[in-house]
Chains A and B, each alone.
Chain A
Amino acid sequence: MSKTNLTRRGVLRTGAVAGAGLALPTYLSAASHSGFTNAPGDSTVTLGFNVPQTGPYADEGADELRAYELAVEHLNGGGDGGMLPTFSSKALDGTGILGRKVEYVTGDTQTKSDAARASAKSMIEKDGAIMITGGSSSGVAVAVQALCQEAGVIFMAGLTHSNDTTGKDKRANGFRHFFNSYMSGAALAPILADNYGNDRKAYHLTADYNWGYTTEEAVRNSTEALGWETVAAVKTPLTQTDFSSYIAPVLQSGADVLVLNHYGGNMVNSLTNAVQFGLRDKQVNGKNFEIIVPLYSRLMAKGAGANVKGIFGSTNWHWSLQDEGSKAFVKSFGTKYGFPPSQAAHTCYVQTLLYADAVTRAGSFNPCAVVEALEGFEFDGLGNGPTLYRAEDHQCFKDVLVVKGKENPTSEFDLLEIVEVTPRDQVTYDPSIFGGELGTCNPGA
């Protein structure tokens, strides 16, 4: 009779060792030896939403966060699906991303580059975020994009309008859906010519940082090509609140157009001051004095109140668009939150869907596979018409909206009216004009 030494403890020990041995390859392939940073496990994947939760753009950040939460809900199969049914790519099916449930962590950029980098770093290193997205400032976007490149994760920019983000500071791991200063200038110019003619003298007030410079340059180039003369361009400190001493000399300069290359609180205050000084009621050089705001947002227009009436600007998207994608997004967002989404919310929602779709089409979370899937990707149904993610600079090319402050708004959201949808071809440019090197994608690990 043979005797077996099978004991309960022995079975447990052997089972544990065998289990660990079998699990080891999975662990190695999923994490440190996956070949890329923060490879997700089998059940969940973590995205990092880095938005201004405090500071001057906190309201814009709050709207971005709402959009991200909505996108996660839709990716996981919740709600009404938002733009998933209207998106031309049908890779996403509401089961998360590659079968993993989408989770997220948030960070506060404070609209400061160093704070934004610190929160992004924390989300990557501590929370295991595989993609970082968000931001309401070009300075922040450029800084976080560079960090993501070094860390080997994908950066899907939120609201950033400077040419630099996908120009001289572009990175292989970074992608921008939002339009840029060049496109604003190119879209606005024909409308300005139609409404104000080709013989104008423009005076620029420009926020003293990189977004201000690129916006001034874009609008100057576009308007000077029309035949306009730029009589002066004055830099204003970002911290300025009272612009009266900058506005007052405008009429003495002989200018008949004031271009406010300002955003956020700067724009609200400078426009308010310009209207207070009665610029819009004046006649100069035999013409009505006009004001232009190259980049508009509904949240800013709300801050400036009635002062925006009749003033031209450009925007990336507006909730009143009547394409199926926009209608679906507005319905979904409006039902959940009680008011229509801002352009910042729209671009953030779209970026999340585009990332998830790219991962799904690539069949991998590897950043280099995602880059490959996004480069040259043509899509539709996300609110901006047919759109191309250009491979050369990772910039989206799509129609640009020229808007005007509405004369008779019917509600607190109904502040801007679309006067022109500028076709994509008209705002497309040679990728080499802004310099910079995309480099190669970095998978990290």
Chain B
Amino acid sequence: MDALILQILNGLDKGSAYALIALGLTLIFGTLGVVNFAHGALFMIGAFCAVTLNRLFNLSHEVEVPGETDFLGNPLMRDVPYLYDIVGESAGAAIIDWSVPLAILFAIPIMIIVGVIMERGLIKHFYKRPHADQILVTFGLAIVLQEIIKYYYGANPIPTPAPDAFRGSFDFGAMIGFDPNTIIYPYWRLVYFCFSVVIIGAVFAFLQFTTFGMVVRAGMADRETVGLLGIDIDKRFTIMFGLAAAVAGLAGVMYTPINSPNYHMGMDFLVLSFVVVVVGGMGSLPGAVLAGFLLGILESFASMREVINFVPGINQVIIYLVAIIILLTRPRGLMGRKGVMED
């Protein structure tokens, strides 16, 4: 029982990332009808916003350390962040420690701008082209973006730790009556799960309770009629693209303490997120969220030693097997709308 609870918890944080990326993908597909294979790259750019802010906070000048030498025998120089000079050492250290949460504020405008530029500069030219063209061009864009990141940040993962207050883990098992050390869960993964729930809730509330959201939903249902009413739906959809980019970017920012970011992380999530979208139902926002968490938990279960011993290699294919079964039995996915991707 404790093992099952543990894997559910693991699946929730993995599912959180899938759900956030799939949510953005679905928003873009639902509004613009574009299959955006560069969405994983937006997740990666978000993560590198956190890296960049951390580096900005750590911009330093050198101070000689008396009596010590470097590897060449020259006087040892220690880096002292300019931030220490500006706000004092303890305040500077605290700001650097909290650089990942602070990067949320840094990433939102950057991701919206990146999203809008991407949509206006490239993707709008492919609205009326076949999905295959859209996939090719956005996939190409994703590769270009990741190569740019690799050029400037290198190929190795870059450690970007969580604030001290959220490092380590807590004994969830002991809290609910199991033996100590049976269900251990890291604080930051809990933060990530809560963060994703808040973001998902905010996106749904935005679409449900604002006039802007209402127009967007109307446009998703019948773009032509909304246009005939004199509403500039294209402009709103461009903004939605920016928002979807911001959602992916925030997912990336908060993911950095879980796994050190590298230039390839977007691709690692992209394919699985597409499976999530298809399983959830193309164009269905609740479907994307539901499928994200569901497949995250299933993947987690499939990685259990007992399961792998029983069916070797199942951890590698479980998501695709489930996708096949769901699409055979429910071709529109779990919550897909009639008429979407059926032509």
- Contact assessment for B181 and A284 in the assembled complex, using a CB-CB cutoff below 8 Å: yes
- Chain B residue nearest to A327 (CB atoms) is B73
- Decide if A276 touches B305 in the complex (CB within 8 Å): no
Contacting pair B156 A241 (CB below 8 A): no
* Smallest CB gap from A269: residue in B: B259
Binary CB contact string for chain B from 260 to 276 against chain A (1 if under 8 A, 0 otherwise) = 10101100100000000
Alpha-carbon separation in the docked complex, A410 to B14 (Å): 36
Contacting residues, chain A, for B168 (C-beta < 8 A):
276, 278, 281
In-complex Cβ contact of B154 among A58, A284, A331 (8 A): A58
A242, B259: Cβ atoms closer than 8 Å: yes
Inside 8 A of B154's CB, which chain A residues have their CB?
Answer: 58-59
- Compute how far the CA of A302 lies from the CA of B262 in the bound complex, rounded to whole angstroms: 13
CB-CB under 8 A for A56 and B264, given A272-B259, A304-B159? yes
If A269-B259, A281-B168 touch, whether A244 touches B10 (CB-CB below 8 Å) is yes
Q: Which residues of A lie under 8 Å from residue B189 when comparing CB positions?
A: 244, 276
User: Are A237 and B188 in contact, with the CB atoms below 8 A?
Assistant: no
Bound Cα distance from A59 to B19, whole angstroms = 32
Contact A265-B262, Cβ < 8 Å, known A244-B10, A245-B7:
yes
> Chain B: which residue is nearest A303 at the CB level?
B157
Which chain A positions have C-beta within 8 A of B14?
242, 244-245
Per-residue contact bits, chain B 180-199, to A (CB 8 Å; 1 contact, 0 not): 01101110110000000000
Mark the stretch among B81-89, B234-242, B296-304, B327-335 that contacts chain A. B296-304
B208 at the interface (CB under 8 A from A): no
- In the complex, the chain B residue whose C-beta lies closest to that of A300 is B156
B260 with A251: CB separation less than 8 A:
no
Is B76 located at the chain interface by the 8 A CB criterion? yes
State A96–B244 Cα separation when bound (angstroms).
Answer: 59
Residues of chain B from 212 to 261 with CB closer than 8 A to chain A in the complex: 257-260
Residue from A232, A299, A413 within 8 A of B71 (CB atoms): A413
Residues of A within 8 A of B13 (CB): 244
Tell whether A87 is near chain B: CB-to-CB under 8 Å. no
Label chain B's interface by main secondary structure.
mixed
Q: Are A410 and B68 in contact (CB under 8 A)?
A: yes
Q: Is the CB of A268 within 8 A of B150?
A: no
Binary B-proximity of A241-268 (CB < 8 A = 1, otherwise 0): 1101110110111000000000001001
Instruction: Tell me if B315 is interfacial: C-beta within 8 Å of chain A.
Output: yes
Pair B303/A246 contact, Cβ less than 8 Å:
yes
Among the listed B3, B157, B159, B316, which residue makes an inter-chain contact with A252, where contact means beta carbons less than 8 Å apart? Answer: B3
- The complex places the Cα of A330 from the Cα of B70 at a distance, in Å, of 11
Minimum distance in angstroms from A301 CB to a CB of chain B:
10
Q: A59-B154, A278-B186, A282-B181 are in contact. Are A410 and B76 (CB under 8 A)?
A: yes
B169/A278 in contact, CB under 8 A: yes
B308 contacts partner chain A, Cβ-Cβ < 8 Å: yes
Q: Is the CB of B305 within 8 A of A234?
A: yes
A276-B188 in contact (CB<8A): yes
Chain B residues lying within 8 Å of A232, measured Cβ to Cβ, are 305
Q: For the complex, what is the distance from the CA of A278 to the CA of B7, rounded to whole Å?
A: 16
Q: A305: CB under 8 A from chain B?
A: yes
How distant is the Cα of A251 from the Cα of B183 in the complex, in angstroms?
9
* B7 nearest CB neighbor, chain A only: A245
Residue of A nearest to B147 (CB): A54
With A249-B6, A305-B260 as contacts: A299 and B303 at CB distance below 8 Å? no
**Cβ-defined contact, B156 with A303, below 8 A:** yes
Query: Is A239's beta carbon under 8 Å from chain B?
Result: yes
Interface string of B282-295 (1 = CB under 8 A from A): 00000000000000
Assuming the contacts A252-B6, A278-B186, A334-B71, asked whether A239 and B268 have C-beta atoms less than 8 A apart, the reply is: yes
Whether A268 contacts B258 by the Cβ 8 Å rule is no
Q: Which residue of B lies closest to A278 (CB)?
A: B169
A-contacting residues, B124-172, CB 8 Å? 150, 154-159, 161, 167-169
Interface: B72 (CB within 8 A) = yes
A416 to chain B, nearest CB (A): 13
Q: How far is the CA of A237 from the CA of B299 in the complex (A)?
A: 13
Docked CA distance A57–B72 (Å): 27
Task: Tell whether B2 is near chain A: CB-to-CB under 8 Å.
Answer: yes
Q: B316 — which chain A residues lie within 8 A by C-beta? A: 237
From the candidates B9, B157, B181, B186, name the one contacting A268 in the complex (CB within 8 A). Answer: B157
In the complex where A249-B305, A282-B181, A304-B260 touch, is A276 in contact with B169 (Cβ < 8 A)?
yes
* Residue from A54, A239, A249, A302 whose CB has the most chain B CB atoms within 10 Å: A249
Of A242, A249, A272, A410, the residue contacting B159 (CB under 8 A) is A272
**Contact yes or no, B156 A330, CB < 8 A:** no
Known contacts being A237-B316, A242-B258, is A57 close to B184, with CB within 8 Å? no
**Residues A268 and B260 in contact, CB atoms below 8 Å apart:** yes
Which residues of the other chain, B, contact A253 by a CB distance below 8 angstroms?
305
CB-contacts of A289-314 with B (<8 A): 299-300, 302-307
A340 within 8 A of B: yes
Q: Are A245 and B299 in contact (CB under 8 A)?
A: yes
Known contacts A276-B189, A284-B181; A252 and B161 CB within 8 A of each other: no
Distance, CA A307 to CA B10, complexed state (A): 21
Contact indicator A57/B10 (Cβ below 8 Å): no
Contacts of A408 in B (CB 8 A): none
Chain A nearest CB, measured from B70 CB (Å): 7
Check A248/B161 contact, CB under 8 A, given A59-B155, A272-B260, A410-B68: no
Chain B residues near A (Cβ < 8 Å): 2-3, 6-7, 9-11, 13-14, 65, 68, 70-72, 76, 150, 154-159, 161, 167-169, 181-182, 184-186, 188-189, 257-260, 262, 264-265, 268, 299-300, 303-305, 308, 315-316
**Interface of A toward B, CB cutoff 8 Å:** 54-59, 232, 234-235, 237, 239, 241-242, 244-246, 248-249, 251-253, 265, 268-269, 272-273, 276-278, 281-282, 284, 299-300, 302-307, 319-320, 330-331, 334-335, 340, 410-411, 413-414
Q: A248-B7, A272-B260, A304-B260 are in contact. List 17 more A-B contacts (CB 8 A).
A: A56-B264, A241-B268, A242-B14, A245-B299, A245-B300, A245-B303, A251-B184, A265-B156, A265-B157, A269-B157, A272-B258, A272-B259, A276-B188, A281-B168, A302-B159, A303-B156, A340-B71
28 A-B pairs with CB atoms under 8 Å apart are: A54-B155, A56-B262, A57-B155, A58-B154, A59-B156, A237-B315, A237-B316, A241-B265, A245-B304, A248-B9, A252-B2, A265-B157, A268-B156, A268-B159, A272-B159, A272-B260, A273-B259, A276-B169, A277-B184, A278-B184, A281-B169, A303-B157, A303-B159, A320-B71, A330-B71, A331-B72, A410-B76, A411-B76
Identify the 6 closest CB pairs spanning chains A and B, nearest first.
A305-B159, A278-B169, A245-B303, A58-B155, A276-B186, A303-B157
